[in-house]
């Protein structure tokens, strides 16, 4: 099928249906009849294009038909189904679609942290500029480890969750500015990680550093990277909207950022619980690190499995998926 010819032939119908849905509260009797008729026709168009290979067109028509169906039927999906759909379709497909942005952000962050860590560890003058010898000794021998055990676990878990959520929400909020400040926020966090690692390495305590930061840090940083990727991708959609209109691309990616924000609330809760309960525990280092690795692997597997499945089904993570066939009268 020639997609361009199909779009050209039916775009006036889609635009008319969109206009009727937008003004559904003030439609006349004939316009209501027209709305129902166009809804059925566009649902048929959706069935046709789902056999093609244009996920953007499928996403647009799915969103339009879902809105029209809501206007026609006024039906509501049970809350538990919406909840299940969000975590099996909307959130994972948004994360999966942004996987290359996500991966690029991760690589850049870790590279900057590693370079800074090596620089700090090998240069005593840099260490002196960061803190005095006594302050470094206190950090390396006491403060770094004590941070994870100086508060009751429940209170600490809540504090960590709020702090991590704040960092991620900062990153996501910057998407309002088209993601431009996000690299600077990532730089600040990468610098903190790199300097801390460098100071610990300079006193041969790198094993303590990784033993304490890895259990929760894998999942925590992954959440930050995902939030940053979603925000920067929003900014890029303004520069390169693809075949869509710029406003449509910006709106769709904006809703994707909201999906990421909501999904990361749960991810960061899990990370906070690990940081409060596992990181300072008396478990051997290999067990604590193993729990962090399992949590990270489980999250990545969840995103890949559900995200790839949803993407293959033509989902965009935007609005509720429309039916595969036109309704019958």
Considering only residues 157 and 3, tell me which one the structure prediction assigns the higher pLDDT: 3
Backbone angles phi and psi of 218, in degrees to 5 = -60, -50
Instruction: Say which range, 52-56, 57-61, 69-73, 264-268, has the weakest mean pLDDT.
Output: 52-56
Backbone angles phi and psi of 284, in degrees to 5 = -60, 155
- Domain boundary (73, 94, 114) is at 73
Q: Has residue 115 got a pLDDT over 50?
A: yes
Same domain, 90 and 182: yes
Could you tell me the pLDDT band of residue 159, with boundaries at 50, 70 and 90?
low
HEC profile for 200-223? HHHCCCHHHHHHHHHHHHHHHHHH
Handedness of CA 297, 312, 94, 324 (dihedral sign): negative
Same domain, 168 and 232: yes
Same domain, 166 and 259: yes
HEC profile for 134-153? HHHHHHHHHHHHHCCCCCCH
Could you tell me the pLDDT band of residue 113, with boundaries at 50, 70 and 90?
very high
Same domain, 141 and 158: yes
From residue 57, how far is each of 214, 245, 249 by CA, in Å?
42, 12, 12
Considering only residues 317 and 58, tell me which one the structure prediction assigns the higher pLDDT: 58
- Domain boundary (73, 90, 120) is at 73
Among 248, 217, 293, 230, which residue's Cα sits nearest to residue 98?
230
Q: What string of DSSP letters covers 160-184?
A: HHHHHHHHHHHHHHGGGGTTTTHHH
Same domain, 92 and 61: no
Could you tell me the pLDDT band of residue 157, with boundaries at 50, 70 and 90?
low
255-260: average pLDDT: 76
pLDDT value at position 114? 94
The 10 Å Cβ neighbour count of residue 77 is: 11
65 in any annotated domain: yes
Same domain, 108 and 16: no
Dihedral (Cα; 308, 311, 315, 317), 10-degree rounding: 60
123-131: average pLDDT: 87
> Where in the sequence is the domain holding 11, given as residue range(s)?
3-73
Q: How many Cα atoms are found within 13 Å in the side-chain-facing hemisphere of 207?
A: 4
pLDDT value at position 133? 83
pTM as predicted: 0.67
User: Using CA atoms, how far apart are residues 198 and 115, in angstroms rounded to an integer?
Assistant: 9
Tokens of 232: 């920067």
State CA 126 to chain mean position distance: 36
Same domain, 98 and 183: yes
Instruction: Say which range, 27-41, 98-112, 154-168, 198-212, has the weakest mean pLDDT.
Output: 154-168
From residue 78, how far is each of 31, 88, 310 by CA, in Å?
29, 16, 20
142 in any annotated domain: yes
Tokens of 149: 């055990």
Same domain, 138 and 227: yes
| Total of domains in the chain | 2
Could you tell me the pLDDT band of residue 324, with boundaries at 50, 70 and 90?
very low
Same domain, 68 and 91: no
95 in any annotated domain: yes
Instruction: Say which range, 1-15, 112-126, 199-213, 308-322, has the weakest mean pLDDT.
Output: 308-322
User: Using CA atoms, how far apart are residues 8 and 19, in angstroms rounded to an integer?
Assistant: 18
Handedness of CA 296, 257, 239, 98 (dihedral sign): positive
Same domain, 49 and 89: no
Same domain, 43 and 170: no
From residue 159, how far is each of 55, 153, 201 by CA, in Å?
41, 10, 28
322 in any annotated domain: no
Handedness of CA 60, 61, 67, 70 (dihedral sign): negative
Same domain, 114 and 49: no
- Domain boundary (73, 104, 126) is at 73
Contacts of 117 (CB under 8 A, 6+ apart): 193, 194, 195, 197, 198, 201
327 in any annotated domain: no
The 10 Å Cβ neighbour count of residue 246 is: 13
Q: Has residue 263 got a pLDDT over 90?
A: no
286-299: average pLDDT: 94
């Amino acid at each position: 099928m020639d997609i361009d010819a199909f779009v050209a032939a039916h775009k006036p119908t889609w635009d008319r249906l969109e206009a009727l849905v937008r003004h559904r509260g003030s439609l006349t009797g004939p316009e209501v009849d027209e709305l129902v008729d166009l809804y059925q026709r566009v649902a048929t168009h959706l069935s046709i294009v789902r056999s093609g290979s244009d996920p953007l067109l499928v996403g647009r028509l799915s969103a339009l038909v879902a809105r029209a169906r809501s206007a026609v039927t006024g039906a509501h999906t049970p809350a538990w189904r919406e909840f299940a759909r969000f975590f099996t379709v909307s959130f994972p497909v948004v994360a999966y679609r942004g996987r290359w942005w996500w991966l690029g952000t991760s690589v850049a962050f870790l590279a900057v942290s590693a370079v800074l860590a090596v620089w700090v560890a090998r240069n005593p003058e840099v260490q002196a500029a960061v803190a005095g010898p006594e302050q470094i000794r206190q950090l390396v021998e006491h403060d770094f480890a004590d941070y994870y055990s100086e508060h009751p676990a429940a209170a600490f878990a809540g504090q960590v969750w709020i702090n991590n959520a704040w960092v991620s929400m900062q990153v996501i909020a910057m998407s309002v500015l088209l993601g431009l400040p996000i690299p600077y926020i990532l730089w600040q966090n990468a610098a903190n990680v790199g300097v801390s690692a460098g100071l610990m390495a300079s006193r041969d305590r790198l094993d303590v550093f990784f033993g304490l930061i890895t259990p929760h840090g894998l999942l925590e940083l992954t959440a930050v990277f995902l939030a940053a990727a979603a925000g920067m991708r929003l900014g890029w959609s303004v520069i390169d909207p693809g075949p869509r209109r710029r406003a449509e691309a910006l709106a769709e990616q904006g809703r994707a950022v909201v999906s990421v924000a909501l999904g990361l609330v749960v991810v960061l809760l899990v990370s906070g619980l690990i940081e409060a309960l596992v990181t300072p525990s008396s478990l051997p280092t290999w067990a604590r690190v193993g729990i962090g690795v399992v949590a990270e692997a489980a999250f990545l597997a969840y995103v890949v499995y559900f995200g790839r499945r949803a993407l293959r089904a033509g989902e965009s993570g935007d609005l509720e998926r429309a039916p595969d066939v036109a309704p019958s009268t």
